[in-house]
Structure 1
C-alpha cells in the first residue's frame, strides 16, 4: 500500500508540473502524461529492484526530453528512485544516478542554443538540492529503522540475560536448600525413636530451608513481574533478593548459609575480611551465590568434615575461596554448577578456578573486581 501511494503521488506531481507549463498546449499531450504515469509505475520496483529502478528512471528522463515535452526538471522525476535506493542500502547507485542527471542537465543547458534552456544558478542549485534531499532522506529513514531494530535486539538480549541470571539464582538457591533438606531429613530419619530431640532439630532445619526456598521463589516472581533489564533498587542489577526477615543475598549472609551445614556435623570456618561498602551490590550478590553453590557441592558430593570460606579485598579485587577436605574433583558429577559459577564470574569481569588441594579436598577460587566500571551489567 505504501508503494502504491508513492507511485500515485509521483505520477500526480509530474503531471501537475507538466500541466503548469506556460506553453502546455504545445509541449503537453497524452504522451507527456503517459510518461508521468510511467514514472509513477517505476516506484513499484523500489523494494525488489531498486538498482533497476534508478537506471530505468534516469534513462526514461532522457527519453522524455528527446520528445521535447514540457520541462519537468531532471531531478524531480528521479526523486522517488534516488530515495528508495538509499533507503535499501543502495546509496552508491542513488548517488551515481543523481550525479549523472545533474551532469547531463548541466552539459546540455550550458551548450544549448535555446535561450529558454540556458542554465541558471537557480536551476543548478534546485537540481542538486533535490538529489541531495532525496538521498539524505532515504539514508535517514534507513538508519532510523536500523536503530529501532538494534534497540529491539538489545532489549531481547537484556531479556535473555535477565532470564539467565534468574535461572542461575534459582539453581543456586533451590539446589542448596534441597541439599540441606535431604541432609537433615536423613538425620531425622535415623534419629526418630532413638534421639527425638535430634530428630526435632533436624526437622526444624528442614522447615527453615523450605521456608527460605519459598521466600526466594516469591522474590523471583516479584522480579519477573517487574521491569526487565533494569537495576534493582538495592543495586544488585536485578539479582533475586529475599524479603525482609531472611538473610541478605551478599557476603553478610554467608554466616547464615553455614548454620545448616554446621548442624549436620560439618565444621564450617568463615573468614571474611571485607570492609562495609567495599563491594558493589552486584559483586556482593555474585560472591554469595558462588559460596552458596560451592557449599551445596560440599554437602552433596564431597563427604567432607571441614570446609573453609574465605574472602578478602585487596587492591580493588575480591579474592574468594571455598575449600573442603573431602574427596576432591573426582566426587563431582556433571551438572554440579561449576560452569554456572564460572559464567557468573566471567560476566562480572572475573575468573573462577577449581583445583584439588595438595593434602586432599577440593577448592573453588574466584577473583572478582570489587567494583564494576560503568555500573552493573
Structure 2
C-alpha cells in the first residue's frame, strides 16, 4: 500500500469547475476581441455571451444535459445576432467535454453533430465571402468536437479505473485479513486446547506423579511457545506493508525463529501434541511430495489442525483416524473420531465455518457431521493444484 504522502490529493470539484468556466469565458472573449471587424461585431452583448458560456460550466455536474442543450442553443442565438465569429464548436467545448465525462456521451455526440451540421449548412448556402465554408474551418470544428468528447470519455474511464483499482485493493486487503483471522483462530485454538488439557493433567499429577506433571508442563511450554511464535509472525505481517516484506522494525529474535509448519509435513507435530494429551490417532498420509500447490497444502494442514482441536475440545473421544490421500486427481481428506458426535441442534462454530470458507475459496467441498458408526467426521475434497482464476 503506498504511503499516504505518495497518494495524490483530490482537487475540490468546485475549484475545477470555476477554473474551467473562467478559461471558457476568457478564450471566447479573446476570440471575439481578435475579430478584424471587432468594432462592428464585438459589442457588449458578444462579451456577455462569453461570460454566459463560462457561467454555464459551473452547472455542468448537476445538469450536464441541460448545460449542453442551453450551450448549443446559445451558440445559435449568438450567430443569429451576427456577433463576431467564434467558431461553432469552440463555445461548446466545455459542455461537450463535461457531458462525455459525466456519462452523457450520446448527448455529447448528438450535440456536436448538430453544431457541425448547422454550421456546414448555413456556411454552404451563404451569399457573402465571409459566410463561405472553408475546409480548414470544417476540419477545425470537427477536431474540436471530437477532441472534447474523447477527452471527457478518457477522463471518466481513468477515474473509473482508479475507483475499480481501489475497490480491488480493498477486497484483497479484506481477503488477507480473513485469511490471517482463520489461521490465527486455527493455531491459537489448537494450542490453547492442548494447553488446557495438559494443565489439567499437571494439576492432577502434582504431588502424586511429579514426572507426569513435569511432562505435562513441558507440553504446555511447547504449545505456549508455538502460540507466541505464531502471534509474532502475525504481528509482523500486520505491521508490514500489504504485499511487501515484513516490518523491518520487528524484533530480531522473532525473525530468527523457525516458522511453524503450515503444510502436510507439519501434521506429525499436530499428531504428537494430540497424542501427548491422551488421544489415540491413526494417520494415513499418501500424498507424493511436490504434488500439491502451497495453498492446497496449507489448507489441508489447517483442516487437520482445526479438526483435532475440535476433537480435543468437544468430542470426548479416545481415538481419531486421519486420512489424506490422492484419489482420482483430487486430494481427499478425512478426520473421524469415536466421540459423542454433533448431537441434535448443534450449530457449527467459527472453526467449521472457517474451514468451509477456506475450502470453497480453493474450489473444493467440505462436509461435516455424525459418522455412520458413531462419532464425528470432517471430509474435504480439494484440487491438487490451483487453476487460473481460483482464489
2:297 corresponds in structure 1 to: 284
TM-score normalised by L of structure 1: 0.94
1:26 corresponds in structure 2 to: 40
Structure 2 unaligned runs (5+)?
A: 1-14, 247-253
Q: Residue deviations 1:271-319, cap 9 Å, x none?
A: 1111111111111111111111000000011111111111112344211
Alignment partner of 2:277 out of 253, 259, 264: 264
SS in 1 for 2:343: helix
Q: 1 CA distance for matches of 2:33 and 2:63? A: 30
Q: Residue deviations 1:168-223, cap 9 Å, x none?
A: 01110111011001111111111111111111111111111111000000010111
Q: Do 1:159 and 1:229's aligned partners in 2 also have CA atoms closer than 8 Å?
A: no
1:7 corresponds in structure 2 to: 21
Q: 2 CA distance for matches of 1:334 and 1:32? A: 77
Matched, 1:106 2:120: yes
Q: 2 CA distance for matches of 1:79 and 1:114? A: 27
Q: 2 CA distance for matches of 1:179 and 1:71? A: 86
Q: 2 CA distance for matches of 1:97 and 1:57? A: 9
Call closer, same or farther: CA 1:336–1:151 in 2, change over 3 Å: closer
Matches of residues 1-377 of structure 1 in structure 2 within 5 Å?
A: 1-229=15-243, 244-245=257-258, 247-330=260-343, 334-335=348-349, 337-374=351-388, 377=391
Q: Deviation at 1:78?
A: 0.1
TM-score normalised by L of structure 2: 0.90
Q: 1 CA distance for matches of 2:210 and 2:157? A: 73
Q: Do 1:21 and 1:71's aligned partners in 2 also have CA atoms closer than 8 Å?
A: yes
Call closer, same or farther: CA 1:149–1:247 in 2, change over 3 Å: closer
Q: 1 CA distance for matches of 2:185 and 2:146? A: 58
Q: 2 CA distance for matches of 1:333 and 1:60? A: 70
The number of residue pairs the alignment matches comes to: 369
Q: Do 1:174 and 1:213's aligned partners in 2 also have CA atoms closer than 8 Å?
A: yes
Q: Do 1:247 and 1:256's aligned partners in 2 also have CA atoms closer than 8 Å?
A: no
Q: Residue deviations 1:304-352, cap 9 Å, x none?
A: 1111111112344211111111111118665251111000100111111
Q: Which moved more, 1:177-186 or 1:323-332?
A: 323-332
- RMSD over equivalenced CA pairs, Å: 1.9
User: Following superposition, which runs of at least 4 residues in structure 1 exceed 6 angstroms of deviation?
Assistant: none
Q: 2 CA distance for matches of 1:355 and 1:226? A: 40
Structure 1 unaligned runs (5+)?
A: 233-240
